[in-house]
Chain A
Amino acid sequence: MGRVNAEVEAALSETFREEWGRIVATLIRTTHDWDLAEECAQEAFARALETWPRDGVPRRPGAWLTTTARNRAVDHLRRRTTLANKLEEVARMMQPNEPDDENEVGVEDDRLRLFFTCCHPALPLEAQVALTLRTLAGLRTAEIARAFLVAEPTMAKRLVRAKGKIRHAAIPYRVPPAHELPERTGAVLAVLYLLFNEGYVATSGENLVREGLTTEAIRLSRTLAGLMPDEPEVLGLLALMLLHDARRLARVDDGGDLVPLEDQDRNRWDRDAIAEGVRLLDVALGRKRPGPYQLQAAIAACHATATNAAATDWAQIAALYSLLARTAPSPVVELNRAVAVAMADGPAAGLELVTVLEASGELSGYHLLSATRADLLRRLERSAEASVSYREALELASTDAERRFLERRLAETMGSVCPA
């Protein structure tokens, strides 16, 4: 009995990942009620947990769950007031397939509507993130709270407010019309990229939900790529995530310290993820509509496909950063370009760019600026100046792993300051 339950739970867990977002998305469209949609989806999965061990996993688990959830919704709506409009809703819900509204963009998947609505610019960014995780990824409120290091009631309130705003301000539940699509797609991608980064910087094993955000981000991006296969930036973002995530096991050593890219054991890189990332990037670039995510993915691909650090095509990377600086300029891009230039043309060339950046004041207080300057000075054997910069970076560093790394570098550098 225990083994059967374990199999059922595994099947249910897998189906949950696949189906939660789809079920919630459709129920939101048919009931216009986000809370009811979540509740009914929840009840359907609870039902499955009760009955599948007894009756076996259905041949089409998704369909079973969708039908069960819809029936629960019909029940709930019936039990509410018997105003004419509620009966209309019930009647409408009983029809299995609805024609799309005329102003939809021809894509029928309700999940696409849900993506765009969760990530509507009228909602605060943190609400967009929370709503996406709750409705599309099926994370529980407590899990989302933990991932973002806030108390559960705070996160619950955030979700309540967001759903309230959607209702009260009448944010439409739809895929935006064609002329709005580029900007609105950008908003969705920004949320997914934020999720990925939040998970990516959490490497210490202390907060597994937080680290799991990379997996959720990749899963959500995959879903979005399936729904928008012709959008090169959507493919580009997925490629970027896969290429970064491929290095996950090599990024941190057994002591929990960061391993710089050039020192990583490339045998620990996930070759399959790299292959998929490169393939997706090729498809994206083939559409001839380059954009920032494709460019960043191309940079990641340069690293991922180099057999060892020395084989890295830094000139190519520097060129890609120049392109990126034109399409999506930012001081961090400039800093990364400086690092690439230093590798391609020598630390003095990189230091020139870093100096210009510092003069602009845009990155003051950013520890990686000081750390980069320190590294370049160290490579130029200007050890005293390098030490000063490492100390500056230490003051500004935000994680223990970063601090340990900088302290080691500082010690190495100081070692070369003292005369023999």
Chain B
Amino acid sequence: MRYMLLICYDESFSPPETIGAETEAWVEEMDRRGVRKAGDRLRPASDATTVRVREDRAMLTDGPFAETKEQIAGFDLIECADLDEAIEVASRHPMAKVGMIEVRPFWEE
């Protein structure tokens, strides 16, 4: 079963100094376990552009698709036996302690 981990933070977030090193350690461990298939950091929502095409016109807005306090900071694509394992993987991510991680299943046949 594949899941997308959406690594999120909200406006109260201030990254602890160790977050970089802790995240690298998490990535290493999950790569080694074979559960992590892909993933990366993203630039902040302020650098995003949202595209809508309506009646053949492309409309651009500056910023993320949803004006919420919570935003996505990065993603990881994992493959696990079941939701319990995906939850365990997500809960070990350092951002789980200071932000939140959405665990979204893929459509599988």
Interface residues of A (CB under 8 A from B): 122, 168-172, 176, 180
Q: How far is the CB of A419 from chain B (nearest CB, A)?
A: 59
Question: In the complex, what distance in Å separates the CA atom of A169 from the CA atom of B83?
Answer: 6
Q: How far is the CB of B87 from chain A (nearest CB, A)?
A: 7
Besides the known contacts A168-B105, A170-B1, A172-B81, 17 further A-B residue pairs in the complex with CB atoms under 8 A apart: A122-B83, A122-B87, A169-B83, A169-B103, A169-B105, A170-B81, A170-B82, A170-B83, A170-B105, A171-B82, A171-B83, A171-B84, A172-B82, A172-B83, A172-B84, A176-B84, A180-B84
Question: In the complex, what distance in Å separates the CA atom of A122 from the CA atom of B87?
Answer: 10
Q: Which B residues are CB-close (under 8 A) to A122? A: 83, 87
Q: 1/0 contact trace for B84-107 toward A, CB 8 Å?
A: 100100000000000000010100
- If over half of B's interface residues share one DSSP class (helix, strand or loop), that class is named, otherwise mixed; here it is mixed
Q: Which A residues are CB-close (under 8 A) to B84? A: 171-172, 176, 180
Interface residues of B in 31-72 (CB under 8 A from A): none
Q: Which B residues are CB-close (under 8 A) to A170? A: 1, 81-83, 105
Question: In the complex, what distance in Å separates the CA atom of A122 from the CA atom of B84?
Answer: 9
Q: Which A residues are CB-close (under 8 A) to B83? A: 122, 169-172
Question: In the complex, what distance in Å separates the CA atom of A171 from the CA atom of B3?
Answer: 12
Q: Which A residues are CB-close (under 8 A) to B81? A: 170, 172
Question: In the complex, what distance in Å separates the CA atom of A172 from the CA atom of B1?
Answer: 11
Question: In the complex, what distance in Å separates the CA atom of A169 from the CA atom of B1?
Answer: 8
Q: How far is the CB of B14 from chain A (nearest CB, A)?
A: 28
Name 11 A/B residue pairs within 8 A (Cβ), A-sorted: A122-B83, A122-B87, A169-B83, A170-B1, A170-B82, A170-B105, A171-B82, A171-B83, A172-B81, A172-B83, A180-B84
Question: In the complex, what distance in Å separates the CA atom of A176 from the CA atom of B84?
Answer: 9
Q: Which A residues are CB-close (under 8 A) to B103? A: 169
Question: In the complex, what distance in Å separates the CA atom of A171 from the CA atom of B80?
Answer: 11
Q: How far is the CB of B65 from chain A (nearest CB, A)?
A: 23
